Chains A and B, each alone.
Chain A
């Protein structure tokens, strides 16, 4: 095995391990599952090292995405993003994050809005907001083109912002002392299913 091939892979591993593990943790059911997914991602990258593009992050996260899906299928029933976010919400209240009442209410509203999205919409939004991927990288993760991704993201973002406004309005109504402060979600269902990206 040529030394430079090893060196290139080690650089790839060290440059991207945190991004891959962070992506997996944000979506896995638990940290051990995320660690497994990250390990398997780099095993695939090692095996297919001649195919890894120079701009590797999108390629790696696409592998992580598939690996996580496989791990979930082989384990417990897959949890929706809403359930996963709810488990993080409690930890968030005791973390070092800004814990002012306003900040907590704000984050709860965002979580509720995100939870109300389809998994497909949530995935689009979080690839950009959580993993800070550009359109090309995110499109690579989902197996679609940059243009398709832009269309889908635009629609998902509109739905998310509408949901967020709805939750915020409900929260404000609750603050004003109205009896029923439950969020009233008025976001329409997405128009046409875009189907699944190729795996």
Chain B
């Protein structure tokens, strides 16, 4: 009897070994592994500058993982005028922990804002997004390199469903769809706040994680971004280097730049808008006159979409 659901059909081709984990690694081997892991120790960076340090053990065969948790020890950097030749700093000397803590506090204060972001992934397409900071609503417009709008989508997320209204400009059509998401595992889980975003950018939660990772270095003065003086932080050593600019006064993130694995740059600029009626209206989709309602989603054609 054939399983009719797509998940069931795919589950049937999951490699069989993946279901034999208890045979492949028995209890004794797991116990040895657990012991070897917990006998190793490293410095665990924490926001606020405190650092937990324990003795370093030997973990044969596993130390290559250092790349996943590498510590970056950063020195104190004077903010303001540190780019280029170094004039004597006129402002207090701060370190990355100070900037990280101020940024997190600023984001906490702006938790009800509408975040406007522009994401340029480097493939000629631009995504402009307005999203509620609580993750419940997201409006995104994608524009192709020739300036034509590709699609205009509003997504509303609840604990049970994600529903969307999609306006496809190549198809001159619009449709809606809804998917159940099941019980929300974030319910009651501290610190779990899914926030919508365009992939390749960072959500506020992801920015917080970066700030807490201990992997960011403070570069100091980031120059002007959209007329705002900024402070620049970077994560240079990862597979995809990342640079974050925060407003030097408000400490809210204003720009993220990621170097993709193919060498292209993906840049997002953020504007934090108070939740006024005007700003909230940016979360609504606009269906142009003459666009037809389609009863179901229309698959993009290569000619219309431009391909990958």
Contacts and interface: CB of A to CB of B under 8 A. Distances in A.
Given A43-B37, A154-B297, A134 B199 contact: no
**Which range contains the number of A residues in contact with the other chain?**
35 or more
A46 B38 contact: yes
A43 B135 CA distance: 32
B85 interface: no
Contact of B6 (A23, A47, A102, A157): A157
A22 to B, nearest CB: 4
Contacts of A54: 189-192
A176 interface: no
A187 to B, nearest CB: 8
Interface string B192-212: 101111111111001001001
A173 interface: no
B185 to A, nearest CB: 5
Given A130-B18, A151-B164, A195-B260, A189 B307 contact: yes
Nearest to A148: B199
A134 B16 contact: no
B55 to A, nearest CB: 10
B280 interface: no
20 contacts: A14-B30, A31-B17, A43-B62, A48-B44, A55-B185, A70-B68, A74-B64, A114-B10, A134-B182, A136-B185, A143-B199, A145-B197, A146-B162, A147-B196, A190-B300, A192-B305, A194-B198, A195-B122, A196-B260, A198-B258
Q: Which 10 A-B pairs have the closest CB atoms?
A: A191-B305, A191-B300, A195-B200, A129-B10, A147-B196, A195-B121, A40-B65, A26-B18, A150-B162, A129-B7
